[in-house]
Amino acid sequence: MTTHFAGDTAVLTGRSLRHILRSPDTIITTAVMPIAFMLLFVYVFGGAIDAGTGSGGAAAEPYVNYLLPGILLITIASGIAYTSYRLFMDMQGGIFERFQSMPIARSTVLWGHVLTSVVANLISLVIVVAVALIMGFRTGAGVLAWLAVAGILILFTLALTWVAVIAGLSAKTVDGASAFAYPLIFLPLISSAFVPTETMPGPVRAFAEHQPVTSIVDSIRNLFAQQPVGTEIWVALAWCLGLLVAAHLLARAAYRRRVP
């Protein structure tokens, strides 16, 4: 059964990946907006923003070092909109009904889209990091720290992708299938992604400090800066895992309703 599931998932993931390879502009488009944000904040607003990147008489680190973790999360939030869109188009095209007539594991159809999202988003993330390096991003983080960052980003991608699956299965129009991602894209703006939460007014600061993006951003930033991650990383992992489990269960329920 496990081999059957893995084989079916691999076939359907390959199908979705071929669609992306035929239209690489999807990945390029996903990376364009985060890169534009990064350019805007570093070269236009960066001189006026005090992110506390220097202390005492020490030279301040480049603002891009502070900014990059939040930009990576925006990249993922931007990328999952395409997962919802592709899933909606498959639903409208009757692909799911065709798959039902085949001897394949039921859930592999969804997993094919989810794993494709992970691969596509990883490529977009690599592009964004490459641009950040050109802009002056530097880190002394070792291999283990980079693996930890990659693990957090993959977990976050999986969680948001299952949210995208819910949207793709529930949307009534193609615009609605991808519009859900907009609040997720702008959520990092009300977090520690661009400025320290200490600079925010009371109610905004309270929200920023208790939403998932802040703990994830702070954990990645500390890993890059070779600083202790403290309890933040456990809070970040709890948010990601909690969202992943809840979204996965809701997505499967939505799938059962749409494809009995």
Entry pTM: 0.87
Please state, in angstroms and as integers, the Cα–Cα distance from residue 62 to each residue in 46, 103, 136, following that order.
9, 55, 7
Q: Within 13 Å, how many C-alpha atoms sit on residue 221's CB side?
A: 27
Q: What is the pLDDT of residue 24?
A: 67
Q: What is the pLDDT of residue 55?
A: 40
For 226, which DSSP code? Answer: T
102-118 pLDDT tens trace: 666 667 778 888 888 89
Question: Higher-confidence residue: 7 or 36?
Answer: 36
Q: Are 245 and 235 in contact (CB under 8 A)?
A: no
Q: How far is it, in rounded angstroms, from Cα 208 to Cα 204?
A: 6
Token pair, residue 98, equals 């065709």
Look over the chain and give the mean of its residue pLDDT values, rounded to a whole number.
83
Q: What is the pLDDT of residue 260?
A: 63
Q: For the chain, give every domain's residue range.
A: 2-46+61-258
196-215 pLDDT tens trace: 888 889 899 999 999 999 99
Question: Higher-confidence residue: 252 or 46?
Answer: 252
